[in-house]
């Protein structure tokens, strides 16, 4: 039976990892010209089709509770047990399907590549909708949108920072229009734009049609009661704040890293640029807080929006500076100079050690071949 001789997926992944490690060593040519086959390409088409069929069957089984939820909400709303209208369960089920589609697009875009992370995101999405229940349906949708789009913004700006810095370009791609269109479709920025447009339309629709078509209950907070569309506005501004903070962290950090070992004039220019980016970030945060305070008339929302994000950004920057020993460079000039000299002296020593190790290995191989020839 040939099916018993088929290698397992773990052995295939280990073989692909060994091939990648051997091809990445120096002296083995350009790995972009002849890339080693991955474990996915070594799997037979029958096994891949079987796995895809099982995944589809499991997903269809996971849709059965949504159908039951929509039907139960319809029956309970007709009897007057549940407030919110008979179609509220159907709206919730449709939202779950749209969010599953967004997760699938993130997987196709390369943002979510591991199966465990995909399952975790799907679980968080559905728990976020179910936890608030049918009464606060749009609040759960706003929370899920804010979390999902914030992750997409972070990944998008990280990819942009690597690409503009020369480390994120993918070798071997063509320059035709089809490849450019495929790259544009696969970027997380396009998914961010589509999700934001759809969610903004939903916020406008819920805010203007709420008395007639969407009888959603108000949410009691500490100081007042708020409509659910206000949480949608808060989710949109939260995504804008995350976008600005990610741009500040990635581009400002790369700018400081490039100018850290340079001349003092370049360091001063980098510090000025980072300060300007910080001012823009603070302006975005203050504007978002003012808009939310105007909409919600809540001091709690204003405090949470204006004070919490800058403190998180400052703590993150301080942690990164402490991790990279940048406080020594900023505080003490002599200590910073000594640290730069020690780093510069450590790099050639590592290169000399690696060169000597490879040279000794080559001499041992030549000595062994010479002894073998003499023995023959």
Domain that holds residue 75: 50-162+183-327
Instruction: Please state whether the predicted TM-score (pTM) of the whole model is above 0.85.
Output: no
Residue that is written with structure tokens 């403190």 in the block: 311
* Residue 43 resides in a domain: no
* Residue 145 resides in a domain: yes
Q: What is the mean pLDDT of residues 1-10?
A: 54
* Residue 257 resides in a domain: yes
* Residue 44 resides in a domain: no
Query: What is the pLDDT, as a whole number, of residue 363?
Result: 52
Q: How far apart (Å, rounded) are the C-alpha atoms in residues 165 and 100?
A: 33
* Residue 195 resides in a domain: yes
pLDDT at 54 over 80: no
Q: What is the mean pLDDT of residues 136-149?
A: 77
Q: pLDDT tens digit string along 311-370?
A: 766 676 677 666 665 544 444 444 445 545 555 555 555 444 444 544 554 555 555 555
Q: pLDDT tens digit string along 56-84?
A: 777 777 777 777 877 877 787 777 766 66
* Residue 344 resides in a domain: no
- By residue count, the chain amounts to 376
Q: pLDDT tens digit string along 281-294?
A: 767 777 777 777 77
Domain count of the fold of the chain: 1
* Residue 127 resides in a domain: yes
* Residue 79 resides in a domain: yes
Query: What is the pLDDT, as a whole number, of residue 23?
Result: 55
């Amino acid at each position: 039976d040939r099916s018993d001789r088929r290698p397992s997926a773990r052995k295939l992944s280990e073989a692909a990892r060994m091939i990648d490690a051997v091809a990445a060593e120096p002296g083995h040519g350009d790995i972009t010209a002849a890339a080693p086959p991955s474990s996915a390409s070594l799997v037979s088409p029958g096994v891949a089709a079987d796995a895809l069929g099982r995944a589809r069957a499991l997903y269809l089984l996971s849709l059965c509770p949504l159908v039951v939820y929509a039907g139960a909400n319809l029956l309970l709303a007709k009897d007057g047990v549940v407030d919110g209208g008979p179609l509220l369960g159907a709206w919730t089920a449709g939202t779950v399907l749209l969010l599953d589609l967004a997760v699938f697009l993130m997987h196709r875009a390369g943002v979510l590549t591991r199966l465990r992370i995909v399952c975790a995101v799907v679980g968080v999405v559905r728990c976020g909708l179910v936890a608030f229940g049918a009464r606060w349906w749009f609040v759960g949708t706003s929370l899920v949108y804010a979390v999902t789009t914030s992750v997409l913004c972070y990944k998008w700006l990280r990819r942009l920072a690597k690409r503009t810095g020369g480390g994120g370009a993918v070798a071997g791609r063509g320059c035709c229009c089809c490849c450019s269109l495929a790259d544009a479709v696969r970027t997380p920025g396009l998914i961010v734009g589509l999700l934001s447009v759809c969610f903004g339309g939903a916020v406008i629709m819920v805010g203007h049609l709420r008395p007639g078509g969407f009888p959603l209950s108000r949410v009691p907070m500490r100081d007042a009661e708020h409509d659910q569309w206000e949480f949608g506005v808060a989710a949109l501004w939260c995504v804008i704040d995350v976008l600005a903070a990610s741009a500040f962290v990635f581009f400002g950090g790369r700018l400081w890293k490039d100018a850290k070992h340079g001349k003092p004039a370049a360091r001063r220019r980098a510090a000025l640029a980072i300060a300007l980016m910080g001012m823009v970030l603070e302006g975005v945060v203050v504007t978002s807080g003012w808009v939310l305070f105007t909409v919600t008339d809540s001091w709690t929302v204003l405090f949470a929006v204006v004070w919490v994000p800058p403190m998180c950004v400052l703590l993150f920057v301080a942690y990164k500076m402490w991790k990279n020993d940048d406080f020594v460079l900023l505080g003490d000039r002599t200590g910073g100079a000594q640290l730069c000299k020690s780093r510069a002296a450590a790099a050639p020593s590592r290169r000399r050690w690696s060169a000597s190790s490879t040279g000794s290995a080559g001499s041992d191989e030549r000595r062994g071949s010479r002894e073998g020839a003499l023995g023959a």
